[in-house]
Amino acid sequence: MKKILSILNGNKTIICLTLATVLQKAIEFDIINNSNYMQFTLNLLLLLGSGSLLHHAKKGYFKQNKGF
């Protein structure tokens, strides 16, 4: 479990938002059915990805002088 969490630690934003995009496109092209469970999963991925992005902004990751 520790190894999985360490892999996700730096990549949560990318993983969540990429999966949300893939899920949106799969629903759009009728590859998977648009059900309440799919909408819940999509909303959860967007929420987690957005939270990770806001956490990056809060830590100052997007500032020019980030410790270089």
Q: Which positions ≥6 away from 42 have C-beta within 8 Å?
A: 20, 23, 24, 27
pLDDT of 15-58, one tens digit each?
A: 889 999 999 999 999 999 999 999 999 999 999 888 888 877 78
Q: What is the mean pLDDT of residues 2-27?
A: 84
pLDDT at 66: 58
